[in-house]
Structure 1
Amino acid sequence: MTVSPTLRRHFPDGVFASDCPSRVVLDHVTSKWGTLVILALAEGEPLRWSELRRRAEGVSEKMLAQTLRMLEADGLVHRDARPVVPPHVEYSLTARGDELAQRMVPLMDWIADHAPAIVSDAASAAGAAAATR
């Protein structure tokens, strides 16, 4: 497999360079919570805080707030705060976030298809390694 012309055009020194700006974005969108938030919002409808928290089971309030702020600052998530009492805030993907999600969904499909076997194989290998000690 060869490096794509797009990567060479945007990052002539390569995405492997420690100072490559792609690393910042990669860190944000491929973090566990960043990926799950993007995928939850990719389902179409804007979601409120509590709905996102339910969709991304296990995320703490602190991590969800941090993830949403980061994705909003990156221009991937739109925050719509309505001036009502009680406050009503909804989150949705921006056009850029939607474009990213369209690329992430096939990766997550592959992961969902292969995760059971990968986890099982890893557990078997760990068990075998422990038995030989």
Structure 2
Amino acid sequence: MRAPLPPDLFDPACPSSATPFQIGDKWAGMVLTCLRDGAPRRFTELRVPMRRVSSKVLAETLRALERDGMITRAAYDELPPRVEYAITDLGRTLFPAMDACRAWAAEHLPAVESARAAYASRTS
């Protein structure tokens, strides 16, 4: 019996290849940040801080995060209907990586902005 092959991020058939892209999606990171305190949020409560995202993209992001086990969706049989989203224990495990990325961005933002300006001056 052969040992299972390790995940291959470059193989489109490998389930692990989609995970980093979902986690790295800018809207997914914002949703998780909005849910970070553990309080459930309604769709409209997520839209307020994420005012640049369309309703369609937010709904798709929420579905993808729910599918991957990062958040839960609770629908209540009320009038008007109420749906709340909350972060899961699995979703919380992403915070150290997100915090590291945020710290890296804060530290290296001047270098990134300088590289962008240099690129823009070369290509214009």
Q: Which of the five TM-score ranges fits, normalised by the shorter chain?
A: 0.7 to 0.9
Specify every segment of 5 or more residues in structure 1 that has no aligned partner in the other structure, as ranges. 1-8
Output the CA distance in 2 between the equivalents of 1:73 and 1:80: 13
Corresponding letter in the other structure for 2:87: L
Which residue is equivalent to 1:56? 50
Which residue is equivalent to 1:125? 118
Provide the alpha-carbon RMSD of the alignment: 2.3
Q: Secondary structure at the match of 1:125?
A: helix
Which residue is equivalent to 1:26? 20
Calculate percent identity across the aligned residue pairs: 36
TM-score, structure 2 normalization: 0.81
Q: Deviation of residue 120 (structure 1)?
A: 2.4
Higher-helix-fraction structure: 1
Deviations 1:102-130 (A, max 9, x none): 33222123223433x14421342034314
Pair 48,10 (structure 1): closer, same or farther in 2 beyond 3 Å: farther
User: Is contact 1:39–1:105 with CA below 8 Å preserved after alignment?
Assistant: no
Q: Secondary structure at the match of 1:55?
A: coil
Deviations 1:36-71 (A, max 9, x none): 111221233221111111122310000000000111
Count of residues in Structure 1 that have an aligned counterpart in Structure 2: 122
Which residue is equivalent to 2:106? 112
Output the CA distance in 2 between the equivalents of 1:81 and 1:92: 12
Pair 13,88 (structure 1): closer, same or farther in 2 beyond 3 Å: closer
Give the one of 33, 42, 45 matched to 2:39: 45
Moved over 2 A (4+): 9-20, 112-115
TM-score, structure 1 normalization: 0.76
Output the CA distance in 2 between the equivalents of 1:112 and 1:85: 44
Specify every segment of 5 or more residues in structure 2 that has no aligned partner in the other structure, as ranges. none
